[in-house]
Structures are given as structure tokens and as C-alpha cells.
Amino acid sequence: MPALDGIRVLELAGLAPGPFAGMMLADNGASVIRVDRVKPPHQPSPDVLSRNKSSIQIDLKSSGGKDLFLRLVKQADVLIDPFRPGVLENLGLDPTYTLLKLNPRLIVAQLTGFRRDGKYAKMAGHDINYLAVSGVLSMLGPSLHVPPDGRPLPPTPPGNILGDFAAGGHMCVTGIVMALFARCQTGKGQVVHANMVDGVNYLATMPRVSTKIPGQWDRPRGENLSDGGCPYYNVYECKDDGKYMAVAGLEPQFFQQLVKGLELSDQPWVPKRDDRVVWPIIQDAFRRKFRERTRKEWEDIFDGSDACATPVFTHAELEASHYEQRPGVTLTGTPSINIGVRSGWDVEILGFGEGGEHALSSWMGWKKGRDYEIANRGLQMKKESKL
């Protein structure tokens, strides 16, 4: 039995971090109903984080739709709110004064990009904006000076993995699980506030503090020990163009294995590797050496060693090799739902209303036409039904 079996989750449809939080809960056995709008807004990409969920469409601005939604809230354990501050309140769905009064055991997880207070609170934004105002974006990417004016390259956004998914969705799930645990002690639900600015700052605790430790992260971005500045913690191209090896021989014993595999153990800079003056020399030697062999040849040399040297695979290569995607963590007693051979690779879209009828029957014992109906594409209670 999965760890969250029996937990019921309402996920108000949104962009990446909210759906990711819902998927994490669903992958661990929660029954997740995605509540879609009758007129969904434009989204830059489809929601592909819909595994193990069901969908219903509700117009929360209609009395019939709101009535149905509140009945579901009474039976829910978790509500994921991905909207900007004030949206739920404007719909008459204040978490504290309406939802928790209706269901005192409910956990309302409100996930925003910016903090809920301050000048950015009601502004639109995306992953890169949240990283920017958190201070973390300033730490990412190389600081090479490039022509024509010799200015350094700007910080490099790391896709939307760090903000949306790690600092947003994953942190939100952490808050939900803590609130579920607290409910076991108190019997009461609560509101969980998560935002990507605070989330990513929390993730960056070590590098942020390390900026005050000499030799750790005290230099401009791209010039530090683990951000690409150190030649033995870096990525190098192999003889086959576009194929790379990643090396991380930070500890002396791992460095010795690395230079041994590279046949560079006799170089005069080996005992001076901590001296930043020789870093450019080491980097040039590594660059030239890795270009002498293909990635496969380097794999054969370093596989099984403690050189901390591994190939840089693409997702396409992993998929072609039938690499199995697995849950992020494994619980031996209450395992996650098996992702399956293809689910971690294929685009899977949850259609509007897909699985909703079954979910409402499972949650509430409702039947379409008897307990609820569809009006203007949205679900609402039958007028004769009573709370």
C-alpha cells in the first residue's frame, strides 16, 4: 500500500509547480482530482504532470459550481492552490475563514512564485524571475568576458528545474507532508504557504553561506570550486564532437585516480592542484587530453574507479537504452506507484473531465444525472440535491 493511500487531494489547475506537487502526491497513492476551469487560460505548454490523476471542470464563479466544489472540500484532505495571493479570497473561498471552517482537517497548500508580501506579491512571474529576486540567479553560469566590449556573460537560467520544481512543487509537498503529520498529532488541518523565492533561498543555504568562506564560493560566478571555476570539477568535450565527460575529483584521493586515468600523474602541477595559479594550466591539459579519446573510450577507462569521472548522457540516449525512470525515493514498506516502462518518457495528457466521473463516485458516491450535472461545460450540483 502506498504511503498516501486514502489521502484525497483537490488540485486547482495551474502551471508546472502545482501539477508537479499533485503528481508527487498521486505517485505515492493519493487520490488527486485536478479541478480545471471551464475556460482554461492560455498556457505555454501542456500539463504533462498528470500521471495518476483525474479531472473535473468547475466554474467556481457560478453558485452551482461553487456548491459542488465546497462539498468536495468537506471530504478532501488537501487543496493545492497555485494562484496569486487574493484569488481564492475573491472567489469567496478564503482558506482560513471559509474552507477550514467547513473542514477543520483540511490542509490548504498555497503555492506562489514571489513571497505573499512585499512589492512583487501580486506581480506575474516565472521561474527566472523568482530566482532573480532571490539572489540565486546571480550565482549561476560562467562569467567569461566576451567580445566586443569585454563584458562578462550574464547569469544563466537553469531551465525551470530549480525554481518551479525543486523550490516550488517539491517544497510545497514537503509542507503538505509536514502538515499531514501535524494533523496526526492535533487532529487539525492548516494553511501551508510555499513560495519559490523562499524555497530556492532555502535550497541555496550552503552556497550562500559559503560565499563567506575563502576558497569555497567567495569569487564571481563561474570561478568557484563547484560552479565551473575549478578544472577538476568541470565538463570536457571528448574526441567525438558533442560528447562530454563530467569530472569531480575534488578530494585528493579522487584527484589521484582522475589524473592516473588521464595519464597525467607525472605533471608538475599535480601536487599544486589547490593553487589557483595553476588552474588554467590544469584545465588546458584536461581539455586537450579528453579530446584524444571518444566518450566510450573514457567510459571504459573510468568505469568502476573512484576518479569521479562519468559520461554526460542526454535524455534521448537514456530513453534509447531503455533506462527505467523510477520514483524519486523508495519506501520499502509503503512503496510509490510504479511509474512504468514508458510513463517517464512519453507525453501523457489528462483531458478535461477525464476520469472525473469515476473519481466523484469513489469520493462521494455521486452519479452523473442523479447528484450532479454539466452546465456550460462545468459541473454543478443538481438543484434538488441537498447538502
CA distance 145 to 198: 31
Non-local CB neighbours of 211 within 8 Å, separated by 6+ positions: 217, 218
CA distances from 190 to 107, 292, 337, 344, 375 (A): 5, 60, 27, 33, 33
Cell readout for 294 is 571518444
Q: Within the chain, where are the H helices? A: 17-27, 63-75, 87-90, 100-102, 127-134, 171-186, 196-203, 205-210, 252-261, 279-290, 295-302, 315-320, 356-364
As a residue count, the chain comes to: 387
Strand-pairing partners, residue 193, are 110
Pair 95, 102: CB distance under 8 Å: no
Is there a catalytic annotation at residue 164?
yes
Active-site choice (27, 164, 198, 227): 164
Cα separation values, 258 from 37, 231, 292, 300, Å? 55, 12, 16, 13
All three cell numbers of 302: 573510468
**Cα separation values, 295 from 152, 231, 249, 312, 329, Å:** 31, 18, 18, 9, 30
Spatial separation of the C-alpha atoms in residues 327 and 319, rounded to whole Å:
16
Query: For 76-187, where are the alpha helices, taking DSSP H only?
Result: 87-90, 100-102, 127-134, 171-186
What are the DSSP calls for 295-313, one per residue? HHHHHHHHTTSSS-EEEE-
Distance CA 310, CA 319 (A): 18
Q: Measured between alpha carbons, how far is 363 from 69 in angstroms, rounded to an integer?
A: 12
Report d(CA 71, CA 41) in Å as an integer: 25
CB atoms within 10 A of CB 1: 9
Q: How far apart are CA 217 and CA 95, in angstroms?
A: 41
183 with 107: CB under 8 angstroms? Answer: yes
Catalytic machinery residues? 164
